[in-house]
Amino acid sequence: MGNKKVVVMPYDEAWADDFIKIRDEIKEVLGTLAMRIEHVGSTSVRGLSAKPIIDIDVVIRDRQALKEVISALAEIGYRHEGDLGIAGREAFKYDGKEHLRNHHLYVCTRDCAELKRHIAFRDYLRSHPEAVREYSRIKEEGAKLYPDDMDKYIEYKSPLIQQIYEKMNTAFLIRKAGANDIPALRILYRSLEEDGVLYQPEHFVIGERTEEFFRGIFDSDTQDILVADIDGVAIGFVHCMIIPQKKVSCLKPQTVVYLQDLCVREDLRDKGIGSMLMRAAKDYGKENGADFIRTQVFPGNIDGMRFYERNGFCEMMKTIECQSLD
């Protein structure tokens, strides 16, 4: 390993598209065997310098599915290499595939510690641009100092990686929501519903978000709730939906990532958490092939409109209605 060439490049927007191409090819043969397919590693973090190799974790329910997964991946040229000493994570190699970016493919059970580490590290970096800048600097320095020695390069960047892991224990990160987040999410949704009643009492009431409501989102292939997490508690969220445009001759064939809802706990607002959730929503759309992002804002919510404008939104169309059919 010590004599491997070290190549670190500035972040390339094409890496997100490269992941989608690989993911779609894998998804076609695995179908429901894959619970989800995650873009991990440095190329998954916007703005982070990286080796131009896409790291991918395919998540399966348990090891009972592994035999079928190995067989399916073999059909498209991947050969199983075993866990290479990391329990719960199975490595795969391939030959050829010149139509795809170079990549590392792993299949992980959903409870795999290495998978959780990959996701947590990625999500922390996505939420902390200052860490991305520093990590990029260290990686670029290491590549210049040790261009022909991968072991020395890894050793050079390891102290900063350890510092990041230490900070992860005290800072918030962005991650996908799960069943354990439902109580905190209900409180956040109630805050949104109170705003709805305030701004449009003719349409909104205070409701109850049921288990079925959340399960429908968690089990969907086209939507997710991303949460800002502090010490395991969701203190903000964004609900993202991937929606293709209607097939109408006058509309371009585009896909939108729609922000159904976004909310941050009131006592933690004005700390950049909302903007981090917005960045995560945009990354989510990019990873899922969306062309642009859209949402709706109550006309009276001036602060909300300013927040979206700061994050690159502008008014494109007005919704008008008549309250009477007489």
Q: Give the separation between CA 124 and CA 226, rounded to whole angstroms.
A: 13
Which amino acid is it at 16? A
- Per-residue pLDDT of the chain (326 residues), as tens digits, is 345 789 999 999 999 999 999 999 999 999 999 988 999 999 999 999 999 999 999 999 889 999 999 999 999 999 999 999 888 899 999 998 999 999 999 999 988 888 888 888 888 898 889 999 999 999 999 999 999 999 899 999 999 998 888 777 666 778 899 999 999 999 999 999 999 999 999 999 999 899 999 999 999 999 999 999 887 889 999 999 999 988 888 888 899 999 999 999 988 877 778 888 998 899 899 889 899 999 999 988 888 898 898 888 998 988 888 988 88
DSSP string, 23-88: HHHHHHHHGGG-SEEEEESGGGSTT--B-S-EEEEEEES-GGGHHHHHHHHHTTTEEEEE-TT-TT
DSSP string, 190-230: HHHHHHHHHH-TTT-------HHHHHHHHT-SSEEEEEEEE
> Residue 178 corresponds to which tokens in the numbers above?
């799960």
Q: Give the separation between CA 246 and CA 252, rounded to whole angstroms.
A: 9
β-pairing verdict for 233-244 and 103-109: unpaired
Beta partners for residue 225, in sequence order: 239
Helical ranges in 225-272 per DSSP H: none
Q: Report in angstroms the alpha-carbon separations of 47 from 90, 129, 131, 293.
A: 29, 8, 11, 20
Domains, in order of start, for the chain: 14-168 (3.30.460.10), 173-310 (3.40.630.30)
Q: Give the separation between CA 126 and CA 110, rounded to whole angstroms.
A: 21
For 293, the enclosing helix (H) or strand (E) is strand 292-294
SS3 call for 92: strand
Q: Is the pTM of this model over 0.75?
A: no
- Longest distance between any two alpha carbons in the chain, whole Å: 80
Contacts of 161 (CB under 8 A, 6+ apart): 135
